[in-house]
Amino acid sequence: MDVRAMVHASLRREASQLGYGSEEIDGRVHVVPGGISVKYEESEFPEAESQVRVSLTLTAHLGEDQEDTATNTVLDRLDGAGNTQQEAIDFAVNMWMVGVLPALCALCGQKPPKGSEYKTSNLKHNLANAVVDWDVFLGPLQFSSDSSFALQQRIEQLKPVDHVLERILPMLDPHRPHWIRIYHCRREEGLMASNCQVDNRDFAEGRGTLFEFTWPNVTSEQWFRQFLTVIPHYALVQPLQAKAAVVVEEEKTWWKKLIELGNQDLLKRS
């Protein structure tokens, strides 16, 4: 069985365990019927002394439109490890199901999978003539399998993800949802690797903010990651009202439908 077939079989097994009757159509595994499908993109199997390791790239497709676009395609890269190639793939796929899918469900107006949750928050930021109100849906904070309790405590104290969000929110388009991927790793020799992406694009300021995080003493490679989505609740600002009206009149995409009620509420206030 080739890697793509192994990954898609793992996705279907995981979806079935979560209560979804998944099916594969046109090369995509539909994990949430009518809402979210996912497919294998590429993989690497780095050399390792003991366990098999994999670095897996998956693409999620949001909504029912067939064509992939910048506003409905979510890329993610996940690491897995196991005694066999299949175990490593299953580990990475499970990380996507547990850490990414719940926040994507919120983005598409779907309920999260059974047994999984996302946290919600509400944040505001000021533009020149605006106060933008965001609903934030956070997937679970995920750690490497051997992460220390000291690392988890340090994250709870310093809240690095909150600091990254403070840098990101003022730069987001307030008329559409966004997704954010955060990853930070410290290797045994002290070298660090970080990644911060907004809508599949690298965000240098967010990455720089992660490098400001003060690690506890660690004796092995450790990392943490989090996937979250942000949706404009409504924008209380005069200059944005005309744009809001355009959104209501345009052909509805999956995300325009999602924020339509918020825009209608805005127009009623004008």
Q: What whole-number distance in Å separates Cα of residue 11 and Cα of residue 230?
A: 25
Q: What whole-number distance in Å separates Cα of residue 43 and Cα of residue 79?
A: 10
Instruction: Give the three-state DSSP class for 99.
Output: helix
Contacts of 132 (CB under 8 A, 6+ apart): 124, 125, 126, 169, 172, 174, 232, 235, 237
- Mean pLDDT for 59-74 is 81
Q: At 240, is the pLDDT very low, low, confident or very high (cuts 50, 70, 90)? A: very low
User: What pLDDT score was predicted for residue 242?
Assistant: 37
Q: What whole-number distance in Å separates Cα of residue 100 and Cα of residue 117?
A: 11
Give me the DSSP letters along 134-166: EEEEEPPPEE-TT--HHHHHHHHHH-HHHHHHH
Q: At 252, is the pLDDT very low, low, confident or very high (cuts 50, 70, 90)? A: very low
Q: At 148, is the pLDDT very low, low, confident or very high (cuts 50, 70, 90)? A: confident
Q: How do the domains of the chain map onto residue ranges? A: 1-116, 118-270
pTM, two decimals, is: 0.81
Question: What kind of architecture, by CATH, is found in domain 1-116?
Answer: 2-Layer Sandwich (3.30)
Residue closest to 104 by CA, chosen among 236, 250, 20, 228 = 228
